[in-house]
Amino acid sequence: MKDIQKRIEELTEQLNYHNYKYYVEDSPEISDFEFDAMLTELEKLEEEHPEYKKANSPTMRVGGEAQTSFSPVRHEVPMLSQQKAFSKEEILDFDRRVKAVVPDAKYVVEQKIDGLSVSLEYTDGEFTRGSTRGDGVTGEDVTENLKTIRTIPLKLKDNIPFLEVRGEVFMSRASFEKINAELEETEQPLFANPRNAAAGSLRQLDPKIAAKRSLDIFVFNIQQIQGVEIHSHTEGLQFLKEQGFKTILDKNEYSSIEDAFDRIMEIGEERGELYFDIDGAVVKVNDLASRARLGDTAKFPRWSIAYKYPAEKQTTKILDIKVQVGRTGVITPLAILDTVHIAGSNVSRATLHNLDYIREKDIRIGDTVVIEKAGDIIPAVVEVVTDERTGDEIEFNMPSHCPECGALVVREEGEAAYRCTGINCPAQRMRNIIHFVSRGAMDIDGLGPSIIEQMLDRKLIETAADLYYLNPADIADMDKLGEKSAQNLINALEKSKTNPLYRLINAFGIRHIGEKAAKILSAKYKTLDALREATPLELTVIPDIGEKMALSVVEFFEQEQNKAFIKRLEDAGVNCVDDTENSIKDTRFEGKTFVLTGTLENYKRSEAGAIIESYGGKTSSSVSKKTDYVLAGTEAGSKLDKANALGVTVISEAKFEEMIK
C-alpha cells in the first residue's frame, strides 16, 4: 500500500509540474500523449485507493459533482471597482490628486483584462476557496469550477499561512470561437463575446461543463497575505509568479505620468495582437505604503485608475454583399469591404446580421461606411456615410433560393433570420446527418461525428440515406474502426431500418418538429405516404400541431431534394409505416398528462416518459392546471414548486413504480 501511496504522490507532483510548464509558462517538456498516460494512471489509482488522493490532485481539473446552488461569500477585503478615464486629461487629473498626497509616487501600467473578477484563497499553501466579485462585498462560492482552470495552482510553492489574491477569469479568442461553433452546431444561443462566455461558464452548476470551456486567469493583486512581507506591487506580482500563478508582470515603473500614458497608448496599439480581450489599461501606484496613505472611496481605490479605449473605427467601402449559409441553415449577409486595417488586423469582411439590420441602417452595395470591431473581435458596419453617395449604389435583397444547394429560402413570421430548407445542403450536411443518427432519431449506435466527417471527406456519403448503402469494406480502414467495428456499424444501420415511423419523421429534422410532434404525426397518418399528402389545414386540426409546424411539414415534403432523399431511404428498406395500431393494449394513463422533474434513481426521464406514453399517457415539459401528475425525483426545482402552488398531484418514483406494476 505504501508503494501505491508513493506512486500517487509522485504522479500528482509530476503532473502539476508539467501542467504549470504547459499552461503557465507555455514551455511543455513532455508530449500530450505522455501527460495523458500519466493522468490516466493516476485516475485509476485514485479510483481504487481514494484514501490516498491528494487535495491538489490534477484529476480535479475535470470537475466534480454538480451543485444545486452557489453559497454566498462575504469578502473580508472588499473587491472594489476601478474609477474610469476616457481621456488623457482625466489621467492627468488622477496624477494631480495622487501627487498632492504622495509627491514622489511612481506608477505601473497593466492591461485591463476583459473578464470576470474572482478571489482565490489559500491556507497553508492549499487552495481552499474561490469566489466571484459579486457586488464587491458579497460574491458566490465557485471553488469547484475554479479548480478546473489549469492556470490556478491548487498548491503553492511555499506553505504560506494565508493568502488571498484577486484575478480575472477570461476566455481566449480561440476558445470563444470554438465554443460558439459548438453551440451553433446544436442550435443553442451563442455567446455575445468572450467575457460573456467566461462569466456563463464560471457560473455553471456542473463543474464538468466549466472544465470543458478552457477558461484561463491572470492574477493581478494581493488582497491579503500572512507570513510574508511585500512592499510594492511589482514585488508582489513577482512573488505570485514564483508561487505558481499566471500574472501580467510589467516590471517598468514610471515616475512621470506622461511616460505612463505613453505606455497606455502602446498597449492600445498591441491589443489586436493579443490572444485575449482587454478593454483598457490600468495605472496603479506601485508602492503599497503609498496606497495605504491614499486609501479608498466607497466604490474604488484612490491609487489606481482604468483608462478605457474607445472602439476603433475606420471608414471603407462596401464592394459587394454576399450571403453565407451557417451550419443550422441560417443565411447571413456579409459585406465585402475594401480592405482596411483596424484594431491590429486587416478587415475585408463584416457581418450585416440580417435583412432587418440592413434596412434599418439603409446599407447598400457601393456605400462608404464606418466599421468597428465589436468587442475588438467581430467587424460590424455601424454607420453609412450618406454624403458620399453617388446614386450608383445598389439595394440588397436576400436570395429566394440557397446559393449552396438551390433549395427554397424561407423567413418565418416573427423571425429575423432567413433559412435554407434543403436537407442535402452542403453547408448543413454534417449537422443534418448527425441529427439523423442521434439517439432521439434513428439511434444508430457507434456512428459519431468523427466517423461521419471521415465518410463525407472520402465522399462515401452525401446524405444520411447513403449510410444504408455502405458495406464493411468501405469503412473498415477509417480511424477508430476495424473490421469488427465496421461490421457492428453496418449491423446497427440494418437494425435501424425497422425503427418506428416516428423516429424517421424526427430524423428528417423538419423545423419545429421534434420527437413528440413526430409521434403525434406518425400515430395520426400511419404511413409516410399519407403524411406527405397532408395539407396545412388538415395538420393544424391535430391537437398540439400549430400553424408554423404544419407549414414546415408541408414545405419539407414539397422540396424536390427531400423527395429524392426519401425515395432513397424507401429503396434501402427503411420502415415508413406506423405498425402500432393495436400496440397499446394497456391504456391506464389514457387522457393523463405527466411532467417529470428532478433526478430519478432507476430511470432516465426519457425512459420514464416512454413508459407513460406506452400506457397511452402524455408527457409535457411545463406544469399547468391541466397537468395530472408531477413525477418528482431528487433535486426537483421550480416545476415542483409550481405543482404545489397549483395543487397538482405530486408522485414519487416509488409511487410511479406502483402505478406501472
Q: CB of 335 within 8 A of CB of 352?
A: yes
Active site residue ranges: 112
Q: Is 397 exposed, middle or buried (0-12, 13-18, 19+ CB in 10 A)?
A: exposed
Measured between alpha carbons, how far is 255 from 127 in angstroms, rounded to an integer?
36
Measured between alpha carbons, how far is 569 from 467 in angstroms, rounded to an integer?
9
- List Cβ neighbours of 335 (8 Å cut-off, separation of 6 or more): 318, 320, 321, 349, 350, 351, 352, 363, 369, 381
Q: CB of 193 within 8 A of CB of 373?
A: no
List the beta strands (DSSP E) in 309-400: 313-325, 330-342, 345-351, 364-365, 368-374, 378-384, 394-395
Measured between alpha carbons, how far is 68 from 636 in angstroms, rounded to an integer?
10
Measured between alpha carbons, how far is 374 from 86 in angstroms, rounded to an integer?
18
**How many CB atoms are located within 10 Å of the residue 457 CB?**
9
Taking alpha carbons only, the member of 553, 528, 529 closest to residue 540 is 553
Q: Calculate the alpha carbon distances from 41 to 8, 10, 48 in Å.
A: 9, 11, 11
Measured between alpha carbons, how far is 379 from 344 in angstroms, rounded to an integer?
12
User: Which set of grid coordinates corresponds to residue 14?
Assistant: 509530476
Measured between alpha carbons, how far is 471 from 486 in angstroms, rounded to an integer?
8
Q: Phi/psi of residue 652, each to 5°?
A: -85, 170
At CA 442, angle to CA 557 and CA 554, rounded to 5? 15
Measured between alpha carbons, how far is 588 from 591 in angstroms, rounded to an integer?
9
Terminal-to-terminal C-alpha distance of the chain: 48
| Helix spans in 372-447 (H) | 429-437
Taking alpha carbons only, the member of 293, 291, 340, 284 closest to residue 315 is 340
Measured between alpha carbons, how far is 280 from 220 in angstroms, rounded to an integer?
14
| Helix spans in 466-598 (H) | 472-475, 483-496, 501-507, 515-525, 528-532, 536-541, 547-558, 560-572
**How many CB atoms are located within 10 Å of the residue 467 CB?**
24
Using DSSP, state whether 203 is helix, strand or coil: coil
Q: CB of 115 within 8 A of CB of 168?
A: yes
Say which DSSP state 311 is in.
Answer: P
Q: Can you tell me which residue has the cell 407513460?
A: 612
Using DSSP, state whether 272 is helix, strand or coil: helix
Q: Is 165 exposed, middle or buried (0-12, 13-18, 19+ CB in 10 A)?
A: buried
Measured between alpha carbons, how far is 344 from 297 in angstroms, rounded to an integer?
36
List the beta strands (DSSP E) in 4-147: 72-74, 84-85, 107-113, 116-123, 126-132, 138-140
Measured between alpha carbons, how far is 621 from 270 in angstroms, rounded to an integer?
50
